[in-house]
Structure 1
Amino acid sequence: MSTIAPIAAARSASRSSLPRVGVLLVNLGTPDTADAPGVRVYLREFLSDARVIEDQGLVWQLVLNGIILRRRPRTKALDYQKIWNNERNESPLKTITRAQGDKLAAALSDRDHVVVDWAMRYGNPSIKSGIDALIAKGCDRILAVPLYPQYSASTSATVCDEVFRVLARLRAQPTLRVTPPYYQDEAYIEALAISIETHLATLPFEPELIVASFHGMPKSYVDKGDPYQSHCVATTEALRRRLGMDVTKLLLTFQSRFGNDEWLQPYTDKTMERLAKEGVRRIAVVTPGFSADCLETLEEIAQENAEIFKHNGGEQFSAIPCLNDSDPGMDVIRTLVLRELQGWI
């Protein structure tokens, strides 16, 4: 009688009984609905995070609850409606992050003890729900993957804060790892370059220059030691080297400023206005700090900043898509995850 079948069955049973390793992709977040109530819930959670707005004192609470949450949800809801995925009734960020999770799971499907899930720092699905789901599937080790190439306390660190808060409530905690920022990782820079070159090849015009627009932050945060600005500079310099461009052909700017404080400069919107007034007629914009297209790329850049550029004399404007769940984008995520899972799988 052959012993091959029993041995194979025993090995299969052994593999299935192994503790599982969970991978949790985490992005910033999104409202559940593209209306004022949905945006209000999202903004309340986001702007109540001391990593985002460091001074959560009485004055800020009065401004937040008395002004911002009364007025801003209506206007931001209109912006979300411009880009909303009506078929799924969700934001593009949620659609893309789900796709990234699904494709990573497929790429790791030959490792039957690895489980992939995804979550949002603010909104749903929450980090808690993601961790709970992984634990329920038998994961005793979890790799958290903040999908932010450049580190900042208001993005990467707040993901860790929330993960630690969830684990702090557990008696039996899974072992935790967190992927590092990948702002000048070779795979990331190569993927950005490929995405730019591929997109430019489809355009009916040749841009005179490219603007690399990163999400901004108050200058005071950097002054206190946040490395975010230096990471953005490093990404841009690496991308210039890869594309063979200098500072006149690939510009670095910062977008999405909020409030009256000084933020990192140069500002993207002011740069669009200046370039057009100086005679630049054709530009493309890439957003290397965003791993997935969202309100800040699809509405603020592709629509609002395009209008600023054209209103001031610009003629042709193109927003380069984020890496999203493209093949180059998934290469980055897969490379990062497999590197950090060494010793676990």
Structure 2
Amino acid sequence: MLDARAPDGTPMFIEEGATCPVHAPDDHPKIPPAKTGVLLANLGTPDGYDYWNMRRYLNEFLSDKRVVDYSAWIWQPLLQAVILTKRPFSSGAAYKSIWNEDAGESPLLTITKAQVSKIRDRLVGAHGDKLVVDFCMRYGNPSTRSKVREMIQAGCTRIVFFPLYPQYAGATTATANDQFFRALMAEKWQPSVRTVPAYFEHPSYIDALARSVERAYGAMETKPDVLVASYHGVPQRYLMEGDPYHCQCQKTSRLLKERLGWADTDIVTTFQSRFGPEEWLKPYTVEEVARLAEHGKKRIAVIAPAFSADCIETLEEINEEIRESFEEAGGEHFTYIPCLNEDDAHMEALVEVIEENLAGWV
């Protein structure tokens, strides 16, 4: 890319091959060849697990009104004076237990990079280099704004924005879209955009989930008594205010059960990661796995269909805290089935969703 600066001094990197429009004067800004961008977005990750990196990350996350919608004059003093004084230590310890030390990053970032590499190979292989494929994070780095800027400077006059959440929730999909549109507000020349809707019932996604369960069960000598589908929770109030997340989670579980050909009793839907004093969607995973153990279900498997990549909530919360709850209640065999991550069936499903949303643009 060619290094240049905008009139206000902002660094600009103009794509090689940029030219002035026909009949324009010689001093007209150069414009790169038109391209289409695909920008995938996930939740985010701290840059490190030390106190200050964790505090910056948690402050950004917990200050998001989509995540915690209490009045700022009540919430911010509590957040700044109490929560962000203590929580960076406990959260940092949790991240340290799963950190990819070799790469110096969280597993979520490592997996997302691998996912995007595979998706890029498939899409560019099908459509050529007129397609730009990249990723951003809602919180932390790489930021949504930085990646939107890069795509526009690379000549993207159209962008498909894809929040990597199978089920829609205000605290996930909506806030990712919010940040995307805030990034566009800073651009002089905005591209045409499309946002990808939730894909919780997409046949290829359901099939990829089912195949991961079949693969895990096929490797076991004895089949688990029940499969626990654990989704990230949200306050019960959000459901009553119109958020469709709960219903979409239930439908994902039902479609997964039907694809596997199972009975209703073979799978149970639960919700994890409760935070704060409010009632959240029930049953809570940490309590339900203990109840199952107490009622004779000594062998369980847990899957996390709301997560497109393994992260702190799956690698630490499910595989440690929730496992411990099950075993302390008398459970004997606990199996965590990893997220779909960069599994080929998952990548094909995501590419299929992207292709559907690229229709007419490539």
* Band the TM-score falls in, shorter-chain normalisation: over 0.9
Pair 1:218-2:218 in alignment: no
SS at match of 1:196: helix
Contact 1:191 1:332 in 2 (8 A): yes
Q: Tell me what 2:286 maps to.
A: 269
Quick one: which of 74, 85, 104 aligns to 1:59?
A: 74
Cα displacement (A) at 1:18 = 4.7
Q: Which runs of 5+ in 1 are unaligned?
A: 1-16
Q: Tell me what 1:50 maps to.
A: 65
Structure-to-structure mapping, 1:99-248, within 5 angstroms: 99-110=114-125, 111=127, 112-248=129-265
Q: Which amino acid in structure 1 is aligned with residue 109 of structure 2?
A: K
Q: Which amino acid in structure 1 is aligned with residue 321 of structure 2?
A: E
Q: Which runs of 5+ in 2 are unaligned?
A: 1-31
Pair 1:331-2:344 in alignment: no
Pair 1:94-2:113 in alignment: no
Cα displacement (A) at 1:244 = 1.4
**How many equivalent residue pairs?**
329
Q: Which amino acid in structure 1 is aligned with residue 89 of structure 2?
A: R
Cα displacement (A) at 1:57 = 2.2
Q: Which amino acid in structure 2 is aligned with residue 52 of structure 1?
A: V
Quick one: which of 35, 39, 48 aligns to 1:33?
A: 48
2: CA distance, partners of 1:169 / 1:42: 23
Q: Which amino acid in structure 2 is aligned with residue 327 of structure 1?
A: D
Moved over 3 A (4+): none
Q: Which amino acid in structure 1 is aligned with residue 115 of structure 2?
A: Q
Quick one: which of 279, 300, 303 aligns to 2:320?
A: 303
Pair 1:344-2:361 in alignment: yes
2: CA distance, partners of 1:256 / 1:203: 28
Q: Deviations over 1:103-162 (max 9, x none)?
A: 111111232200100010000000011111111211111010000000011110101111
Q: Which amino acid in structure 2 is aligned with residue 58 of structure 1?
A: W
Cα displacement (A) at 1:203 = 2.7
Contact 1:190 1:242 in 2 (8 A): yes
Contact 1:213 1:254 in 2 (8 A): yes
Give the share of equivalent positions with the same residue, in percent.
Answer: 47
Contact 1:28 1:122 in 2 (8 A): yes
- Pick closer, same or farther for the CA change 1:56–1:44 going to 2, 3 Å: farther
Contact 1:48 1:56 in 2 (8 A): no
Cα displacement (A) at 1:312 = 1.1
SS at match of 2:230: strand
Contact 1:27 1:119 in 2 (8 A): yes
1: CA distance, partners of 2:150 / 2:82: 37
Q: Tell me what 1:292 maps to.
A: 309
Scaled by the length of structure 1, what TM-score is found? 0.94
2: CA distance, partners of 1:205 / 1:135: 53
Q: Deviations over 1:83-121 (max 9, x none)?
A: 110110111000111111111111112322001000100
Structural RMSD (CA): 1.0
SS at match of 1:248: helix
- Pick closer, same or farther for the CA change 1:205–1:78 going to 2, 3 Å: farther
Q: Which amino acid in structure 1 is aligned with residue 39 of structure 2?
A: L
Scaled by the length of structure 2, what TM-score is found? 0.89
Q: Deviations over 1:32-80 (max 9, x none)?
A: 1012211111110001010101113212112101111001110011111
Of residues 198-207 and 136-145 in structure 1, the stretch that sits farther from structure 2 once superposed is 198-207
Pair 1:252-2:300 in alignment: no
Q: Tell me what 1:279 maps to.
A: 296
